[in-house]
Amino acid sequence: MNKTGYFTHTDCWKHEMGAGHPECPDRLSAIEDRLLVSGVGDALDRREAPLASLVDIELAHTRMHVAALRGLTDGLRDEIKAGGPSHAQIDPDTAMNVHTWDAALRAAGAALAATDAVLAGEMESAFCAVRPPGHHACRDRAMGFCFLNNVTIAARYALERHGLKRVAIVDFDVHHGNGTEDIVAGDQRILMVSFYQHPFYPEGGSRSNASNLVNLPVPAYTKGPQVRALVESHWLPRLDAYQPEMIFISAGFDAHRADDMGQMGLVEADYAWMTQRIKEVAPRHAKGRIVSCLEGGYHLDALALSVEAHLRILADL
């Protein structure tokens, strides 16, 4: 048995938001190329992501949000037939093409299937190489390149459908996971721990003081040693005290020093170190169960190398 699963789908390549957009299909290709060249891909249990069902999506999103995204997709098809634009703009940074909805269903479906596989004991951990990302998607709103909150849908699914009592979401993307916060704030069955560059996108940073959130703002130019100290002093004691039965990771790699999307200074070794520390928590309470989903990461080489470092730790390579 390969210890770690790898979930993806070709539909995730078809979603694109216009020429030159940083959240582009090449991100997934860069990861795939790196896993091939390094041999890491051979050690993973590769699986095709299914489409998430609407009832599962509604564990984290309103029915109106789901209907609105579907309606935009249908409207876009009609407009294209009539010679109109190929994208529906959601906000200045976020747009849908006709493939976006299916890609979003695959991205959420990957997280759900990974959750099933890990909870069935078929693998210890899993990484979902998917796009669109999810952690800015709020209960009733798409924004910041995100449409469905993949990690939160899967976390609720683990609670509601598999009967777990407590799960944790760890978010190391450079941006605040405002969508995740919007959905889980006050839900004591979920502990969210994160750090994020602040002030930065999305404006305002964390807006909730709910006791199940450990959201740590850090200034631009924060580097690995400071982040590691925060993880040691704030994340790990809370995670251990909370005793999550499963750990989800919003794995964004845009806090990398090479990534122009943010101004932080992490390197591959920092991602490996964070993964290792999270992985040390998992056997104590969660039978080692970790499901990690790709969020940001826009410098293609840094993204690919960081994902490789993350996977080498998860899979003990």
Q: How far is the CB of 261 from Zn ion (least distance, A)?
A: 6
* Number of residues near Zn ion (by CB under 5 A): 5
Q: How far apart are CA 16 and CA 109, in angstroms?
A: 19
Q: What does the buried/exposed string (b/e) look like for 45-67 if buried means 16 or more CB atoms within 10 Å of the residue's CB?
A: bebebbebeeebbebbbeeebbe
- Minimum distance of Zn ion from residue 149's CB (angstroms): 14
**Using the rule CB under 5 A, which residue among 177, 179, 252, 265 binds Zn ion?**
252
Active-site option among 61, 87, 136, 175: 136
Question: Which C-beta is closer to Zn ion: that of 72 or that of 304?
Answer: 304
Q: Does 254 bind Zn ion (CB under 5 A)?
A: yes
132 binds Zn ion (CB under 5 A): no
Count CB neighbours of 153 within 10 A: 27
Residue nearest to Zn ion (CB): 296
What backbone phi and psi angles, to 5 degrees, belong to 217? Answer: -75, 140
Amino acid (one-letter) located at 183: I
d(CA 192, CA 208): 12
Site for Zn ion in 1-30 (CB under 5 A): none
Minimum CB distance to Zn ion smaller for 7 or for 201: 201
Between 50 and 205, CB nearer to Zn ion: 205
Site string for Zn ion, 260-299 (x = CB under 5 A): ------------------------------------x---
Told to check if 173 binds Zn ion by CB under 5 A, we report yes
Q: By CB under 5 A, name the binding residues for Zn ion.
A: 173, 175, 252, 254, 296
Residues assigned a catalytic role: 136
